[in-house]
Homo-oligomer: A and B are copies of this chain.
Amino acid sequence: MKAEIIAVGSEMLTPSRQDSNSLYLTERLNEIGVSVAFKTIVGDRLKDLVNVIRTALGRADIVALMGGLGPTEDDLTREAVAEALHIKLRRDAAQVANLHARAATWRMPMPENNLKQADVLDGATVLPNPNGSAPGQWLDTTHNGYRKLVFLVPGPPNECCSLFDNECLPRLREAVPPRHIAKRVLKAAMIGESAADKIAAPIYTTYKDVETTILAKTGDITLTLLCTKPSLEEAQQRVDDLAGRLEEALEEWIYSSKGEPLEQIVLDYLGFRNATLATAESCTGGMIAERITSVSGSSRSFLGGAVVYSNELKTKFADVAPELIERYGAVSAEVAKALAEGIRLRTGATIGLGITGIAGPTGGTDSKPVGLVYIAVSDAEKNEVTERNFRGARDRVREWSAQQALDLVRRRLM
């Protein structure tokens, strides 16, 4: 079954606010085998709301409306659903009593407009909301001959999520055929999106019952495999089967078969090998250390590092000989190697990582353009340097560089 989630509220059409409840609802819906096919955000205008609800009824089996249930003039979700479905609103006596009781416990007079919140769609079940004044509503109805499950929940996240869990989810579970979704997330580093797809597509397109998506971000590819079946075992077997074939085809580009980030994998490998890492970063300015230390427990394998932005610090913290910088330039294979080896020896780490480059937008020359980066990985046996030419703005060059550096450490540990 397909769901559409509609977030109602003009504030979510401004540059500064975003619907986030839908992420929670999506997770819960997926768990019972319902996929979210559409999400729509609409403001507090009746005409627009009716349009959106009618559109949703035409393309989804389950329509989840969040927000617009409060007492103010621009809370219009109830009215819009009534208009879209050509049904009436009735003022519910029990709800009116509830609202009076609620106002009394707050020792406040109840404004007349509060009573709007007692308006219930004809045929709907009122869903109690212990965290707020606006109750939810549940409607199991027919539209153009098709069964539609429509529910209205309040917008504030704490009210929305708990009301959904307590009242909507049990009803949905009963209404939808029992289905199970299995999921696998594979991650690959430093392969282009189209190159990855060229390898992966001939395989995943033969698994029609598994939905495969590829997402690329600065040297990081995420392959998500989703399969829905009447039994979880069956679904799991299909995604595992496909995941296995993709892992084989994408070879050592794949760094994770369970969706962990690259920095986590590097730390896992370090732990497994009983090895430690230290970094000497110039152009990435601490980005690599920051990524590694974002993982809890990273202190077991990551000793630390130096952000050696000035030439002086390259010497002070990583023992790079000033003559080397003088002779080859701060951005050179030689200095990258010296950084890697220097930081390794200085800290006593098993592996030293050195990186130097020109992040831009200024500082480039004809022979050393913006985007030129040298990354060296040093251990007791060897000290290898990789030269790359990354493109794009400063932040992109830095992100690519950090990703490449972490991937080189992973490959050294493989």
Residue of B nearest to A131 (CB): B392
Q: Known contacts A14-B224, A36-B13, A158-B393: does B398 contact A194 (CB below 8 Å)? A: no
Q: B201 and A73: CB pair below 8 A?
A: yes
| Distance of A174 from chain B, by nearest CB (Å) | 22
A193 part of interface (Cβ distance < 8 Å): yes
User: Which A residues between 79 and 94 are near B, CB-CB below 8 angstroms?
Assistant: none
In the assembled complex, which residues on chain B have CB atoms less than 8 Å from the CB atom of A24?
15
Taking a contact as CB atoms under 8 Å apart, the answer to whether A39 and B40 are in contact is: yes
Contacts of A284 in B (CB 8 A): 290, 293
- Within 8 Å of chain B (Cβ to Cβ): is A274? no
- What 0/1 readout, one digit per residue, does chain A (101-127) give for beta carbons within 8 Å of chain B? 000000010010110000000000000
Q: How many copies does the complex hold?
A: 2
> In the complex, are the beta carbons of B213 and A11 less than 8 A apart?
yes
Please, how many angstroms separate the alpha-carbon atoms of A287 and B307 in the complex? 11
Rounded to whole angstroms, the CA-CA distance of A393 and B159 in the bound complex is: 11
Surface stretch bound by B, among A44-52, A229-237, A376-384, A406-414: A44-52
B213 touches A44 (CB 8 A): yes
Q: Are A193 and B307 in contact (CB under 8 A)?
A: no
Q: For the complex, what is the distance from the CA of A43 to the CA of B212, rounded to whole Å?
A: 12
CA–CA, A347 to B10, complex, Å?
Answer: 45
A13 touches B41 (CB 8 A): no
Q: Does A142 make an interface contact (CB < 8 A)?
A: no
Give the residues from 4 to 21 in chain A that come closer than 8 angstroms, CB to CB, to chain B: 9-18, 20
Complex Cα distance, B302 from A67, in Å, reads 37
The interface stretch among A242-250, A308-316, A320-328 is A308-316
Minimal Cβ-Cβ distance residue in B for A201? B73
Q: Are A347 and B313 in touch, CB under 8 angstroms?
A: yes
- The answer to whether the Cβ of A286 comes within 8 Å of any Cβ in the partner chain is yes
For chain A, the bracket of interface size reads 35 or more
Interface string of A219-241 (1 = CB under 8 A from B): 00010100000000000000000
A193: chain B residues at CB < 8 Å are 70-72
Question: Which of B294, B316, B393 is the one whose CB lies under 8 Å from A398?
Answer: B294
Tell which of B16, B43, B307, B317 touches A37, judged by Cβ atoms closer than 8 Å. B43
Of B15, B74, B304, B309, which contacts A309 at CB under 8 A?
B304
Contact status B15-A18, CB under 8 Å: no
Q: Are B304 and A279 in contact (CB under 8 A)?
A: no
Question: B40–A15 contact, CB under 8 A?
Answer: no
Q: Which residues of B contact A317 (CB under 8 A)?
A: 304, 306, 317
A-B contact sample (11 more), CB < 8 A, given A40-B41, A285-B294: A13-B37, A14-B213, A37-B43, A55-B55, A111-B197, A111-B198, A131-B392, A158-B395, A290-B290, A304-B313, A305-B306
Report A's interface with B, CB cutoff 8 A.
Answer: 9-18, 20, 23-24, 26-27, 30, 35-45, 48, 51-52, 55, 59, 70-74, 108, 111, 113-114, 131, 133, 156, 158, 192-195, 197-198, 201, 205, 211-217, 222, 224, 278-279, 281, 284-290, 292-294, 296-299, 302-310, 312-313, 316-317, 346-348, 359-362, 391-396, 398
